[in-house]
Amino acid sequence: METNGLRHQFSRGDYVVNGLDLRVPEGSIYGFLGPNGAGKTTTLRLILGLLKRQGGQIDIFGKPLEHHRVAILKKTGSLIDSPSFYGHLTAVENLLVFQKLYQCRKARINEVLELVGLTDTGTKNAGRFSLGMKQRLGIAIALLYNPPFLILDEPTNGLDPNGMIEIREMLIRINQQQGVSILVSSHLLAEMEKLVSHVGIINKGQLVYQGTLGQLMAKRQQALQIVWDTSDSARAMEVLNGRHTAQKLDESKLVTPDLTKMQIGAINRELVEAGVAVYEISGNNKDLESIFINLIGN
Ligand SMILES: Nc1ncnc2c1ncn2[C@@H]1O[C@H](COP(=O)(O)OP(=O)(O)OP(=O)(O)O)[C@@H](O)[C@H]1O
Ligand SMILES: [Mg+2]
């Protein structure tokens, strides 16, 4: 799936999606990230043809959405907002309804129940499912037609840590076993880190980052700093004498960019020889969350 210059405004002049060039490679799990109100849901609605396209281009399976809408949407499963199913029916009964609608194989029902981990819900009505189970039933319905592409808007929203892990493991299973490409939105980068192969981060309708998770991780590596906890940081600054762009944090701590082990050992020796006691040398590895905050500039 790719978009080029995708735009959308609800009121004149106020673009909530503002020139998006998304690239979701085949076979990927693409994490679509951004804070509340960034434009994630609007973008996903546009991609699914649920909102009328105003500007820009959307291609899925290599074809423009505007000319191949039905063929493309037949091959795209989705879950936007809360899943819709019948609360007074069981998981299997619900899936039977959709199986008739979609005209797919009956045997597919057990396959999708297996995939989402809902095989043992028996006679329990879906209305009495937990939030996580409802979410998984919604995804089972989206998978019935055997789509090679799945679009999910914040599927873990409101779930407890266990529910989040279940959804995550399920999505990995669907991606690996069935080869389904997945576009999934979230505002939690730390959670996506364990799931996605690619990341797109938007803020105020514009992409601020797009690339593989590995490239984003490399950014984190670049942000690594060494914190020196000493008896006298002013004296330590004198010893360093402008080298390594050291910065004083407070009376005892100073910080340098990442250094080699040799450099760390040498500086440590110099400090001790100059009468500065070194209590701790630690790597201040910025987490993904702070990179995310930096990218969205707040
Ligand atoms: N139907 C609508 N009419 C007018 N404005 C809308 C409509 N839907 C969304 N917006 C506005 O568009 C902007 C983007 O909203 P959107 O729902 O796409 O963000 P989001 O990234 O999905 O946020 P969240 O994380 O809260 O779900 C927001 O400012 C929102 O108020
Ligand atoms: Mg949203």
First to last CA, the chain: 30
Residue to mutate (ligand 1; options 6, 7, 40, 45; most atoms within 8 A of CB): 40
**Greater pLDDT, 225 or 124:** 124
Specify whether the CB–CB gap between 142 and 106 falls below 8 A.
no
Task: Answer yes or no: same fold for 2-219 and 223-295.
Answer: no
Specify whether the CB–CB gap between 40 and 80 falls below 8 A.
no
Identify the pLDDT of residue 298.
53
Quick: pLDDT tens for 181-211. Answer: 999 999 888 888 889 999 999 999 999 999 9
Distance from C-alpha of 282 to C-alpha of 287, rounded to nearest angstrom: 15
Identify the pLDDT of residue 245.
86
Nearest CA to ligand 1 atom 28: 37
For residue 278, what is the enclosing H or E element? strand 278-284
Pick the atom of ligand 1 nearest to 43's CA. Answer: 18
Confidence bin at 286 (pLDDT 50/70/90): low
For the beta carbon of residue 66, count every other beta carbon within 10 angstroms. 12
Quick: pLDDT tens for 79-100. Answer: 998 888 999 999 999 999 999 9
Pick the atom of ligand 1 nearest to 187's CA. Answer: 25
CA of 142 to the centre of ligand 1 (A): 23
pTM, rounded to two decimals = 0.83
pLDDT at residue 135 is higher than 70: yes
Q: What CATH fold (topology level) applies to the domain 223-295? A: Alpha-Beta Plaits (3.30.70)
All structural domains of the chain with their residue ranges: 2-219, 223-295
Alpha helices (H) along the chain: 40-47, 69-74, 91-102, 107-116, 131-143, 161-178, 189-192, 213-222, 233-240, 261-273, 288-295
Ligand nearest to the CA of 42: 1
Share of the chain above pLDDT 90, in %: 71
Specify whether the CB–CB gap between 256 and 203 falls below 8 A.
no
For the beta carbon of residue 88, count every other beta carbon within 10 angstroms. 10
Mean pLDDT on 256-274 = 92
Residues with CB under 6 A from ligand 1: 10, 16, 34, 36-42, 187
CATH 3.40.50.300 fits 2-219, yes or no: yes
